[in-house]
Structure formats: structure tokens, C-alpha cells
Amino acid sequence: MIDLSARVGDLELATPIVAASGTYGYGLEYDGLVDWSRLGGISVKGLSAEPSKGHPAPRMVETPAGMLNAIGLQNIGAEAFLRDKLPRLRTLGPRIIINCWGNTTEDFIRIVEGLEAAEGIDVLELNLSCPHKHEWGGVLAADAGVTAAVVSAVRSRTRRRLWVKLSPNVTDITEIARAAEAAGADALTVMNTVRGMVIDVEKRRPALANGSGGLSGPAIRPVAVYMVWQTVGAVTIPVVGAGGIISGHDAAEFLMAGAAACQVGTASLYDPAAPARIAGELAKVIASLGESRVRDLIGCARKAS
């Protein structure tokens, strides 16, 4: 038997595999399609204080070994989530991670304060790294000062565990990671999508109505593994790896780079059972290496380098 239990700080997970925000709805959409006991957590679709319509269509386009999206953080808003989604979500079993965002620091404070009294939320995950929010004037997590200001403001207003989702669209992710840690983050999610563009040759214009979008899928995995490697070496808080994971072998790479857990995103869009499947495959990888626990993999590549 392989021990798949994992920890991100003081948060215990049944497995190190978490469904990533933006690719798993509010979790409920996948009920009946996945073995919930194989998931460590669900990071819900990014919530804002008020409902958001997101960007106009077309908002998604397939790319070689991946996809490009510019959904624009469409969501139902905090009030509807707490009323219509959270009660049932609490019955599924995995840890509940609320990915949340705002257009200003005050907006971040509003959504966090609006969630504070709710029962059953295990983590708040601040999204400072969406690559296609025009209202931000750029990626928030590309600026260490802005990152620190938002995280600090939120930290002072919540008792919950606070993860911060970082961006690969930066010169030096370690600078941003240290700023988030110093401001009070309990863990870092590394990474969000890579900014990119696809041109529709027949129509002679960008394929996405938004123009640019975020690239995800297997094409970005080596970038994500390297970003995790860099971040783990720069901070003392846990790092959750994300980016292009489609198999247990892929998840093992992130763990060996030092990630405490992994988020699975794009794979869920074509395989609803992907997070549970990947957890099962990871167990086989661990066994094939002659180990018996997830923790035996974490950071082992760092020791060998």
C-alpha cells in the first residue's frame, strides 16, 4: 500500500493532487465522474465579491500540446457561491480551496471578508496572476510591491490559510515569491498560465476575442517545473506546483522538484477523472521507485543535484 497523504503547511491532504481553479468549476459539476477520495482538494473557479461576466467569446482555442484561454475570471460572485455551491461542496470530501480575486486591493479585501464567516473553507488562494485581466493594467504578481501590498492587506483581515498564486510572466519569480512570503502568505501556488496569442490565419486576426490569453497544458510543464524549483529554493513556506500535469509521472516531477502538492488543470477539461487518475498513477510511480510514501519523493531531486 502506498501512503498518498500529503501536507501543505499544517493542512493535511488525502493525496497531493488538487483540482486547479478555472478548470473544475465549483467542484459540483464533476460529482459522479470522479472518485473524490483520490483528490486532496478542489480549488474552485476564481470568485469575486460581485458576479463577473468575463470576456466575450471566442475565449478558448486549442494549441499544440495545450490550449489558450481568455475566460476573464467569469464567476457567480461570493453571495451565490456561499448560498448555492458551498453547502453541497462541503459534503464531497476533498479540502476546499477558494481561489479569489479583485480588481483593486479593496476588492480583494471585500471578497476575503465576505468569505470569512463561512464554515468549511480550508484555504483562500489569492489569484494575482491572471495574464488577461485588462482591469489590472498588467499582471499583479509581476510587481513585488503590488504583491506584498495585496497579500498584507488580506492577511490582516483573515484567519484562514492563505495561498498566493504566482505568475510565470515575470523576470524573476523568486523576488515575487519572497515578497508574498514576507507579507504573510502561508504557501505559494506556482504557476498560472503563460501569456500567449494565436492568430486565425483564415480570418487574419487573433483567434481569441480578447487578443491574448493564457497558455496551459503539457507544453508549459518544463517551465512550471523550473519555476517550482526556483521558488522552493527561495522561500521557507510550502510550494504547490501547477502547470501541464497530465500523468502521475508528471506529478512526480513537481514533487521531486520540491512541491508539497500538485494542481491538475487542463487535463480535467478532456478527462473529468484526471485528478483521481493521476493520483492512482502517482502511487504506481512511487512503488516503481521502491518507495512507499509521497513524502519520500518531495525534494529528492534537489538532494541529487
Which residues have a catalytic role annotated?
Answer: 130
Closest CA to 21 of 223, 267, 264, 252: 264
Q: Are 270 and 277 in contact (CB under 8 A)?
A: no
Q: Are 87 and 239 in contact (CB under 8 A)?
A: no
Find out whether the peptide bond into 58 is cis, omega within 30 degrees of 0: yes
Pairing of strands 11-13, 239-242: unpaired
Q: What is the amino acid identity at position 163? A: W
Strands (E), the chain: 6-8, 11-13, 17-19, 41-47, 60-63, 66-69, 95-100, 123-127, 161-165, 187-190, 194-196, 199-200, 205-206, 213-216, 239-242, 261-264
Distances (CA, A) of 244 to 18, 65, 131, 190: 13, 9, 17, 12
How far apart, in whole angstroms, are the C-alpha atoms of residue 219 and residue 38? 25
CA 213 to chain centre: 16
Q: Are 138 and 146 in contact (CB under 8 A)?
A: no
Pairing of strands 194-196, 187-190: unpaired
